[in-house]
Structures are given as C-alpha cells and as structure tokens.
Amino acid sequence: MDKTKTIEQLVDIILRDDKYGVLKETEKKVDDVLEAVSEPGLGKKKKEEEEEIEECRRIREEIVVNLKENSEYQKFFVKMLAKWGVKGPAQLPTEKRKAFFNAVSKGWAAQKGK
C-alpha cells in the first residue's frame, strides 16, 4: 500500500464518517489503516515503511484535531440556532441572517480565545 493510497483511504473515512460525528469509530478505522500499512511484505525497506507510518500517524493526529474542532463548532452552531429560536438559518428572515452569522462568528472567535 503506497502513501497516496493510505491518505486517500483516510480522507474517504473522514468524509464518510465525520458528517455523522462518529469520531471514535473514525479514529478506530484510521488506526486499522495504519496497522495495515505496517504489515510486513509490502516490498519496501523497513526504514521507508517506518517513515511512511510515522507520516500517516502525524496526518491522523491532524485529522483527529480537525474533527474534534469541527465537532465543537457544530455543537456551538446548534446552540446558536437554539438561542435564536430556529432549527436552521433558512428559518431566519433574510434581514436577520447576516446578524445571526455575525453573532456565530463573533461567539466562536470568543470561545476559541478562551
């Protein structure tokens, strides 16, 4: 399995599972991919395999951080919708949508600054 194929598998896993917020399952699947990459008999030198595995682990960590951040943002966004008394931005009158998104941006920035 080459590095490009591994990264494509990771991206496929994230795209498929992240929209459902299944972070733990996604992490498990990423671990499975990393384990598959480390199986013997891939026809590469051990050092190259180790470097590739290490790079995949680094990418995994970046993905996990991004997933967690996206999950936190999604929760924050839902809270803001509830605060505005709607289930989605489309339910807001046109003139209030800009104010809503400004409030979301400002609130998220303030929360990230904590």
> Over 90: is that where the pLDDT of 84 sits?
yes
What are the angstrom distances between the C-alpha of 89 and each of 71, 104, 111?
Answer: 18, 11, 21
pTM of the model: 0.49
The residue assigned the tokens 């803001």 is 80
DSSP secondary structure of 37-61: HTSS-SSS-HHHHHHHHHHHHHHHH
Summarize pLDDT for 69-83 with one digit per residue, the tens: 788 888 888 999 999
Identity of the amino acid at 84: W
Give residues with Cβ within 8 angstroms of 86, minimum separation 6: 92
Summarize pLDDT for 23-76 with one digit per residue, the tens: 556 666 666 766 666 555 555 567 777 788 888 888 888 888 888 878 888 888
Instruction: Check residue 103 and give its pLDDT.
Output: 93
Q: What DSSP state is assigned to residue 73? A: H
> Over 70: is that where the pLDDT of 3 sits?
no
